Amino acid sequence: MALKACLFDLDGVIVDTAIYHFKAWRRLANELGFDFTEHQNEQLKGVSRMESLELILQWGGVTLSDEEKQQWAARKNEWYLAYVNQMTPQEVLPGVRDFLDSLRKAGIGIALGSASKNARLILERIDMLDAFDAIIDGTHTTKSKPDPEVFLLGAQALHQNPADCVVFEDAVAGIEAAHRGGMKAVGVGSPEVLTEADVVITAFTETSWTKLSDELLGWQ
């Protein structure tokens, strides 16, 4: 293999929107008469909006019609977008911009692979729309991670073989998606949680493309 492209998840890798998802989902749960914990929110990382709603309703023991589900999901998204609209470029996670710059200089393709239907809006808010050669998001996919669809579409958009791609992910389901797609996976977060990742970093400030690529190719 050669390392020719990097595919990045958005939420939890480029920017931390989990807290905004949490606040919006908790409001939904509270309005439906039950509570929702941060621990439960962890389990929604990388999970699409409608699948997240299904899980939350299950946890709260609430049954809704399909139409009601659509209405609550739309309400949650409005509350979430109120936070997103306040986002600034300062919210990009430490080291991310420098890391992407070094990839560019090394001639590595860069794509986004996110389950979020709001990905473009978020990238616009943090001034990073131009940082990616391709953007694949929840508006392009029909299958959620751990299905590899989002990353395979990313590799295709960059005209690269999956075997030459590296995925950066904070979700267990995302690491599995990368591997199912035949790609390397770098976990961003805790090594205790991201046990299946090929390499785990806690932040982009602690690594460099040179160091990571050596590790991934087994030279270190």
State the binding partner of 184 from ligand G6P, Mg ion, none, CB within 5 to 8 A by kind.
Answer: none
**Residue 137 appears among annotated catalytic residues:** no
Question: Residues touching ligand G6P: how many (CB under 6 A)?
Answer: 16
Of residues 106, 142, 103, 127, the one with CA closest to residue 8: 103
Q: 34 vs 79, which CB is nearer to ligand G6P? A: 79
Instruction: For residue 198, give every residue at least 6 positions away whose Cβ sits within 8 Å of its Cβ, in sequence order, or none.
Output: 184, 185, 186, 215, 216
Interaction pattern, residues 138-167, with ligand G6P; x per rule: CB under 6 A: x-----------------------------
What is the 8-class DSSP label of residue 11?
A: B
Considering only residues 4, 27, 117, 180, which one is a binding residue for ligand G6P as defined by CB under 6 A?
A: 117
80-101 burial: b if 16+ Cβ within 10 Å, else e: beeebeebeeeebbeebbebbe
**Residue 198 appears among annotated catalytic residues:** no
- Compute the least distance from the CB of residue 82 to Mg ion, in Å: 21
Q: 92 vs 108, which CB is nearer to ligand G6P? A: 92
Of residues 149, 141, 150, 145, the one with CA closest to residue 170: 145
76: left (phi over 0), alpha (psi -120 to 50) or beta: alpha
Residue with tokens 């599995």: 176
- Compute the least distance from the CB of residue 12 to ligand G6P, in Å: 6
State the binding partner of 115 from Mg ion, ligand G6P, none, CB within 5 to 8 A by kind.
Answer: ligand G6P
Considering only residues 11, 137, 164, 176, which one is a binding residue for Mg ion as defined by CB under 5 A?
A: 11
Identified catalytic residue from 11, 137, 170, 198: 11
Rg (CA), the chain: 17
Query: Which string of DSSP letters, residue by residue, matches 132-176?
Result: -SEEE-TTT-SS-TTSSHHHHHHHHHTT--GGGEEEEESSHHHHH
125 binding ligand G6P? (CB under 6 A):
no
Amino acid at position 116, single letter: S
Sites for ligand G6P among residues 11-50 (CB under 6 A): 11, 21, 44-49
- Enumerate the active-site residues: 9, 11
Q: Which residues make up the interface to Mg ion (CB under 5 A)?
A: 9, 11-12, 170-171
Q: Which residues make up the interface to ligand G6P (CB under 6 A)?
A: 11, 21, 44-49, 52, 77, 114-118, 138
